[in-house]
Amino acid sequence: GAVVSQHPSRVICKSGTSVKIECRSLDFQATTMFWYRQFPKQSLMLMATSNEGSKATYEQGVEKDKFLINHASLTLSTLTVTSAHPEDSSFYICSAPYSGETQYFGPGTRLLVL
């Protein structure tokens, strides 16, 4: 299957700081990528759709000014959690569609805000 990478895999930061997470499609181009969040023992919740060359589309209830998304190229999308707080601690996962609608997930980034 297609390979999607994320960096960093794990990050610990102080409350009030900003954290940037990168998502890359390694062997294919992705005009669209998706960002999910998963809290412990819960399923994945879609946060936003990242679109290359245009603004991201956010799901209802997701603050676009807090979760900044930039789809800089056909292989890179970044999610910046601004002014992070402990309640933002979660597992953030990106995905990219390959060969139609099939989505492949990155390995995820575990964020802990102290």
Partner 1 sequence: QKEVEQNSGPLSVPEGAIASLNCTYSDRGSQSFFWYRQYSGKSPELIMFIYSNGDKEDGRFTAQLNKASQYVSLLIRDSQPSDSATYLCAVNEGGGTSYGKLTFGQGTILTVHP
Region 14-33 residues binding partner 1, contact defined as CB under 8 A: 32
Q: What is the largest CA-CA distance in the chain?
A: 40
- Do the strands 90-97 and 103-105 form a parallel or antiparallel pair, or are they unpaired? antiparallel
Mask 79-108, x = binds partner 1 (CB under 8 A)? ------------x-x-x-x---xxxxxxxx
DSSP 3-state of 3: coil
- Asked if 49 touches partner 1 (CB under 8 A), the answer is yes
Min dist CB 83 to partner 1, Å, is 26
Measure the CA angle with vertex 2, ends 6 and 82; round to 5°.
25
Residues in contact with partner 1 by the rule CB under 8 A: 1, 32, 34, 42-46, 49, 57, 91, 93, 95, 97, 101-108
